[in-house]
Amino acid sequence: MPPSPLGASPDPVPSDPDPRLNEPAKGAEPAFVLEVEVRYSETDQMGVAHHGSYLIYLEEARTGLMRAHGTPYGDVERAGIGLPVRNISLKYRAPAFYEDRLQVHCWVSALRSASVTFSYEIYRGEQDGSCTHLLSATVELACVDLSTKRPRVMPDALHEAFAARLI
């Protein structure tokens, strides 16, 4: 695995806000796909995946994307940077059920000097080869200094790592 691109530079050049949210560019593939099976503990009495379970799937996809592209979240934290959730938006389209195999598509959709937004789509493959769109979501993360718990500008190398994943 390549070294984490976290730098100690305190003065990164801020990027302009990117208005593209929740939609990959035409012809572009999402940056990361996580496959997950709905577990029994994530369902209600009717076998339907609980709405809160989706937040776990999103977080697993986000940290998987970061790890796959050489910026494991653990390295970010060890460098003194936190990325807490600032805003989250979910649109449920269809239910998932116990033992469904899901694909969570995740990509960086917006980047600012002190925040990053990830977008997601969750699909279930059907027996006839089609896919059912279950959920659309965006999660905005703020950049904070873990020692002070205060917002801060993102380090250059981390900003560049996210910019390289921007769709």
- Catalytic annotation, pick one of 16, 18, 44, 156: 44
- The strand pairing partners of 137, in sequence order, are 90, 120
Q: What was the pLDDT predicted at 31?
A: 77
Q: What was the pLDDT predicted at 119?
A: 97
pLDDT digits (tens, 9 = 90+) for 52-110: 999 999 999 999 999 998 999 999 999 999 999 999 999 999 999 999 999 999 999 99
pLDDT digits (tens, 9 = 90+) for 134-145: 999 999 999 999
Ordered strands of the 32-37 beta sheet: 32-37, 101-111, 115-125, 131-142, 85-92
**Is the pLDDT confidence value at 120 over 90?**
yes
**CATH class for the domain made up of 32-163:** alpha beta
pLDDT digits (tens, 9 = 90+) for 34-44: 999 999 999 99
**Is the pLDDT confidence value at 25 over 90?**
no
Total-model pTM: 0.81
Q: Is 44 a catalytic residue?
A: yes
Q: Which residue has the higher pLDDT, 24 or 111?
A: 111
> Measured between alpha carbons, how far is 13 from 37 in angstroms, rounded to an integer?
41
Task: Parse the chain into domains and list their residue ranges.
Answer: 32-163
Nearest C-alpha neighbor of 8 from the set 80, 115, 73, 84: 80
Q: What was the pLDDT predicted at 26?
A: 44
Q: What was the pLDDT predicted at 29?
A: 55
**Is the pLDDT confidence value at 18 over 80?**
no
Question: Residues of the chain with pLDDT > 90: what percent?
Answer: 80
How far, CA to CA in Å, does 107 sit from each of 42, 50, 128, 143, 149?
24, 24, 27, 18, 26
HEC sequence for 27-71: CCCCCEEEEEECCHHHECCCCEECCCHHHHHHHHHHHHHHHHCCC
